[in-house]
Amino acid sequence: MALPALAVYASSRIRRLEIAKRNYTPSPDTAATEQFARLQARLSAIEQRLQVLESQAGISPQPAPDDRLAHASEPPAAIPALQRPIYPSSRPSTAPDPVLAAIPATDAVDPSATAVPAERGAQLERVLAERWLIYVGIIAMLFAAAFFIKYAFDNRWVGPRGRVSVGLLCGSILVLWSDRLLRRGYLYFSEGIAGLGAAVLYLSIWGGWYYYRMLGAGLALGGMVLVTAAMAVISIGRDSQRLIFLALAGGFLSPLLLERGRNHEQILFAYLAVLSVGMLAIERWRRWFWLPPLTFLAAQMYYWGWYLLFYRPADLGPSIGFATLFFLIFAALPLLKSRRSGRLHGAELLIVVANLLCYLGALWELLWSDHRWFLTLAFLLLATTHWLIKRRVPQPALGFEPTVSRVFGTLALLCATLAIPARLGHAWLTIAWAAEGAAVVWIGAKLGSWRLRIPGLLLLSVVALRLLVLGIPAPRFLWNARFGTFAVAVACFAIAAVAIPRAVDGLQDYERKLVVALLVAMSAFSLLALSLEFWDLFGRLPVAGLQHRAAQQMALSVLWTLFAAGLILLGILRKSALLRWEALALFALVVSKVFLYDLSSLERLYRILSFLVLGVLLLIVSFLYQRRSVSQKARKEGGGQS
The predicted-structure confidence for 345-376, as pLDDT tens digits, reads as follows 778 888 999 999 999 999 989 998 788 889 88
Please state, as a whole number, how many other Cβ atoms lie within 10 Å of the Cβ of residue 257.
16
Cα separation, 635 vs 90, in Å, equals: 89
Residue 62: pLDDT band (50, 70, 90) is: low
Phi-psi region of 399 (alpha: psi -120 to 50; beta: other; left: phi over 0): left
Q: What is the largest CA-CA distance in the chain?
A: 135
Residue 487, pLDDT score: 93
pLDDT of residue 101: 46
Classify residue 209 by burial, with Cβ atoms within 10 Å: 0-12, 13-18, 19+.
buried
Instruction: Please give the backbone phi and psi of residue 99, each rounded to the nearest 5 degrees, phi first.
Output: -70, -45
In this prediction, residues 75-81 reach a mean pLDDT of: 44
Q: Does position 320 have pLDDT exceeding 80, yes or no?
A: yes
- Give the rounded percent of residues in the chain with a pLDDT score beyond 70: 71
- C-alpha–C-alpha distance, residues 195 and 242, integer Å: 9
Tell me which of 436 and 491 has the higher pLDDT: 491
pLDDT over 50 at 119, yes or no: yes
pLDDT tens digit sequence for 557-603: 888 888 888 888 888 787 788 888 888 888 788 788 777 776 666 66
Assess whether the previous peptide bond of 27 is cis (omega < 30° from 0): no
b/e 442-476 (16+ beta carbons within 10 angstroms → b): bebbeeeebebbbbbbebbeebbebbeeeebebee
Residue 133 above 90 pLDDT?
A: no
pLDDT at residue 584, as a whole number: 83
Distance CA(354)–CA(58), nearest Å, equals 82
Report the length, in residues, of the chain.
642
- Please report which confidence band the pLDDT of residue 71 belongs to, taking 50, 70 and 90 as the band edges: very low
- What's the CA angle centered on 616, arms 614 and 620, to 5 degrees? 115
How far apart are the C-alpha atoms of 112 and 414, rounded to whole Å?
Answer: 58
Greater pLDDT, 373 or 83 = 373
pLDDT of residue 603: 63
Residue 295 in this model has a pLDDT that exceeds 90: yes
CA distance 444 to 508: 13
The answer to whether residue 29 scores a pLDDT higher than 60 is no
- Which of 32-36, 130-134, 421-425 shows the lowest per-residue confidence on average (mean pLDDT)? 130-134
One-letter amino acid for residue 281 of the chain: A
Question: Residue 212: its pLDDT value, please?
Answer: 76
What does the pLDDT read at residue 498?
Answer: 87
**What is the predicted pLDDT for the residue at 4?**
47
Q: Is the pLDDT of residue 28 over 70?
A: no
* Confidence tier at 419 by pLDDT (50, 70, 90): confident
User: Does the pLDDT of residue 98 top 80, yes or no?
Assistant: no
Q: Is the pLDDT of residue 135 over 70?
A: no
* Range of lowest pLDDT (147-156, 239-248, 261-270, 431-440): 147-156
Q: What pLDDT is attached to residue 271?
A: 93
Any idea of the CA torsion for 110, 114, 120, 123, to the nearest 10 degrees? -80
What sign results for the dihedral spanned by CA atoms 405, 407, 410, 416? Answer: negative
> What is the rounded CA–CA span in Å between residue 54 and residue 2?
78
Look at residue 492 and tell me whether its pLDDT is greater than 90.
yes
pLDDT band at 126 (very low <50, low <70, confident <90, very high): low
Contact 421, 429 (CB under 8 A): yes
Is 248 a residue whose pLDDT tops 80? yes
d(CA 369, CA 366): 9
Q: How many CB atoms lie within 10 A of CB 149?
A: 19
Tell me the pLDDT band of 221, cut-offs 50, 70 and 90.
confident
* Tens digit of each residue's pLDDT (9 = 90 or more) over 600-616: 666 666 667 777 776 77
pLDDT score recorded for residue 117: 54
In this predicted structure, the answer to whether residue 321 has a pLDDT above a threshold of 90 is yes
Closest CA to 575 of 522, 632, 614: 632
Q: Give me the mean pLDDT over the 513-528 stretch.
A: 88
pLDDT-based confidence at 630, cuts 50/70/90?
A: low
The pLDDT of residue 185: 79
pLDDT above 50 (res 453): yes
Please state, rounded to an integer, the average pLDDT across all residues of the chain. Answer: 77
Check whether 196 has a pLDDT greater than 70. yes
What pLDDT, on a 0 to 100 scale, did the predictor assign at position 138?
A: 66
Return the higher-pLDDT residue of 403 and 8: 403
Give percent of the chain with pLDDT exceeding 90.
Answer: 17
CA distance 378 to 367: 10
Q: 72: exposed, middle or buried (C-beta count within 10 Å: 0-12, 13-18, 19+)?
A: middle
